């Protein structure tokens, strides 16, 4: 019985696990969007996954989370904050769609050329940061790593708190 109580205590205070996948991107087409101008208007269609690894308790993300998307350190897009709490039942996960947009984002020339080349070859990877709060901190960030467009497997890679 003491071992069970110890195990239960170890799960108290853990935050949910988060992961993000980029389903699609628009506004970064090399032929129409990246060739003629230095400012772009990207839109990222994302999936945010909230998962509970607890055996007997749900885990919830507070309703103030938002996502930033970068390309090689250059900010491209941000989402609005989530309006509702997102809860995952014990040992389950729940997915929510999120849109991150950038308007008139200036990308320096060499970086724009690199992005256009990566988009043409289909090898582009975008860094994703998730921001919000948890039970212990009023503001917290999770680095989700480099994400490839269309890689649903990214939802199996948890974001890491900084």
Spell out the per-residue pLDDT of the chain, length 162, in tens: 444 444 443 444 457 899 999 999 999 887 777 776 678 999 999 999 999 988 888 888 888 899 999 999 999 999 998 888 899 999 999 999 999 999 999 988 888 888 888 888 888 899 999 998 765 656 788 999 999 999 989 999 999 987
Structural domain of residue 41, as residue ranges? 16-157
On whether residue 136 sits in a domain, the answer given is yes
* Cα(66)–Cα(25) distance, integer angstroms: 17
On whether residue 118 sits in a domain, the answer given is yes
User: Where does residue 77 rank: exposed (0-12), middle (13-18), buried (19+ CB within 10 A)?
Assistant: buried
On whether residue 3 sits in a domain, the answer given is no
**For residue 4, what pLDDT is reported?**
46
CB 80 within 8 A of CB 98: no
Cα–Cα distance list, 94 to 2, 21, 49, 160 (Å): 32, 13, 6, 18
**For residue 158, what pLDDT is reported?**
92
On whether residue 10 sits in a domain, the answer given is no
Closest CA to 88 of 65, 58, 49, 64: 58
The CATH code of the domain that includes 67 is 2.60.40
CB 63 within 8 A of CB 81: yes
Length of the chain: 162
On whether residue 162 sits in a domain, the answer given is no
Tally of domains within the chain = 1
**For residue 135, what pLDDT is reported?**
59
* Cα(94)–Cα(58) distance, integer angstroms: 11
On whether residue 100 sits in a domain, the answer given is yes
On whether residue 48 sits in a domain, the answer given is yes
**For residue 11, what pLDDT is reported?**
45
**For residue 66, what pLDDT is reported?**
94
On whether residue 7 sits in a domain, the answer given is no
Q: Alpha carbon 108 to chain centroid distance?
A: 24
Predicted TM-score (pTM) of the model is 0.85
């Amino acid at each position: 019985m003491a071992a069970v109580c110890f195990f239960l205590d170890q799960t108290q205070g853990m935050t949910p696990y988060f992961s993000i996948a980029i389903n699609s991107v628009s506004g970064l087409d090399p032929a129409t969007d990246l060739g003629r101008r230095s400012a772009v208007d990207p839109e990222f269609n994302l999936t945010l996954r909230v998962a509970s690894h607890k055996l007997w308790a749900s885990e919830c993300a507070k309703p103030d989370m938002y996502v930033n998307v970068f390309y090689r350190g250059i900010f491209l897009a941000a989402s609005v904050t989530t309006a509702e709490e997102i809860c995952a039942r014990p040992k389950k996960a729940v997915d929510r769609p999120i849109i991150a947009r950038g308007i008139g984002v200036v990308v320096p020339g060499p970086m724009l050329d690199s992005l256009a080349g990566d988009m043409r070859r289909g090898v582009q990877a975008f860094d994703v940061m998730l921001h919000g709060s948890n039970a212990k901190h009023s503001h917290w960030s999770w680095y989700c790593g480099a994400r490839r467009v269309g890689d649903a497997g990214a939802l199996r890679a948890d974001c890491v708190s900084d």
